Amino acid sequence: MQAKDHIIGFLNEIEPLNLHGFEIRQGGQRIAAGSALPFRNDVPHRMYSVSKSVVSLAVGILVGDGKLHLGDHIVPYFEDYAGQMAPDEIARLTVRDLLTMATCYDKTVYRPMVDANWTKPFFEGTPEHAAGTIFTYDTGASQVLGSLVERLSGETLLSFISRRLFNPIGIRGPVKWLADQTGNPQGGTGLIMPLSDLATLSAFCLSDGRGLIDPDYLRAATSFQIATDTRSMPEEKHGYGYFFWRTRRGFSMYGMGGQMGICLPEADLILATTGDLILNGTGVQPIYDAFFRHLADMRAETSLVDDPDILECTGNMKFRSVSGKRPDRRICIRLKSPIAPVLALELSPDALGFVTEMETYTIPCEPDTWTDGVFSPIGLCIASAAMVTQSEYRSHIELISDTSCAIHTAVSLRADHEATVRIQSSVWECVSGFSGTAQGTWSID
């Protein structure tokens, strides 16, 4: 089977997924790439938990500089947050424990929509099990280590990693790193970069460190360090390194919704993707499955970026707009109990309005196409909406700013003027409490 056939098989399998873009590299060259408009692979995209892997690389640089050791206890670096009486289990935690997510918590302690400082709560929580014993996915670990990089380097996390790693390996940007309200970097979620740069970074992780990071650290970071067999997703059961996931063959950087750098050392092969699969119900497992089914055994000797058959497949990458008819008049739905903070919906032939106590967020949207707009709490978006039957209305909004997020709205209108409304938001950062189902009554203007 030719390499082209491997890639076409892969593209056909991922076609139903809500992917924003992909890039395949092998042997150091770009083999194939594509994106779903309005997303482009050279435009910044929120990376979510890929940020954790980059924090690990920053820690590795500091380890190589002699400024940090994996066996160091974390509390002495944060006495201003921990005080003199930190609980024993917190005091026992080492840098290595945080890198392997073997903290003393069952979940992340900080509350993103509540806490101004995302780092301090890690040192104020109540330990739930012994430190350094089991893997529990705890974004607080990367939050703390991201802050530690800034404390030890005297620079922002982005400035440090750009100077020491991103710039030397050819990451072109633009790159951003979001911070909490107190200025601490969002170590577990805040990285924003183009997909093409994610591919460059993924390829670097297959290297010997290129003199930029200690090869022993990089090898350890991407190797098995702790068991993860209690995870529910099959691909997450293969173990964890230092903020890198192990896979059935190789390792990956993996961010919520489909931000991925899947690395296969044996074939010098990487797949980088961006997307929003949260509302798909399947998570990112289909990406892994398609990768290992079609690409893992591929051997591409030349680039296929300009191959007509590949271009035809990548040209078909698109979001499916909502098909149907426009509402023939303005319909107002008053919810009997709010889907916070939404009190009512306003459906019109060319827009959808979310009514809150403060204002109405009106999003332009039409059937069978995507319309540019602004979801004012967050930023730019595209939207599509239609009456899919005489009594069923559907909309799909895709945020394309610093928060990549889908918002699905479904409205069922009954003849007795009762309505059922379901709003699903794929990311908590959209608006707190923005997902739910409620009953309401509808009227026509």
Instruction: Summarize pLDDT for 314-333 with one digit per residue, the tens.
Output: 877 877 899 999 999 999 99
CATH architecture designation of domain 331-444: Beta Barrel (2.40)
Tell me the one-letter amino acid at 309: D
Return residue ranges of the chain for CATH 2.40.128: 331-444
E strands along 36-140, which residues? 44-46
Write the CA distances from 18 to 251, 286, 393, 398, 434, integer angstroms: 23, 11, 21, 10, 20
Tell me the one-letter amino acid at 436: G
The encoded tokens of residue 388 equal 């899919």
Instruction: Summarize pLDDT for 357-405 with one digit per residue, the tens.
Output: 989 999 999 999 999 999 877 888 999 999 999 999 999 999 888 888 8
Q: In what order do the strands lie in the sheet with 331-339?
A: 360-364, 351-355, 342-348, 331-339, 436-444, 418-425, 404-413, 392-400, 379-387, 371-375
pLDDT for position 434: 84
pLDDT for position 371: 94
Percent with pLDDT over 90 in the chain? 80
Spatial separation of the C-alpha atoms in residues 186 and 173, rounded to whole Å:
18
Instruction: Summarize pLDDT for 213-227 with one digit per residue, the tens.
Output: 999 999 999 999 999
Return residue ranges of the chain for CATH 3.40.710.10: 3-315
Residue pair 240/226 in contact by the 8 Å Cβ criterion: yes
For 405-414, b/e burial (b = at least 16 CB within 10 A) is bbbbbebebe
For 146-166, what is the mean pLDDT? 98
pLDDT tier at 282, thresholds 50, 70, 90: confident
pLDDT for position 70: 98
Contacts of 228 (CB under 8 A, 6+ apart): 135, 236, 237, 238, 239, 240, 245, 246
CATH architecture designation of domain 3-315: 3-Layer(aba) Sandwich (3.40)
Does residue 335 carry a pLDDT above 80?
A: yes
The encoded tokens of residue 259 equal 């931000």
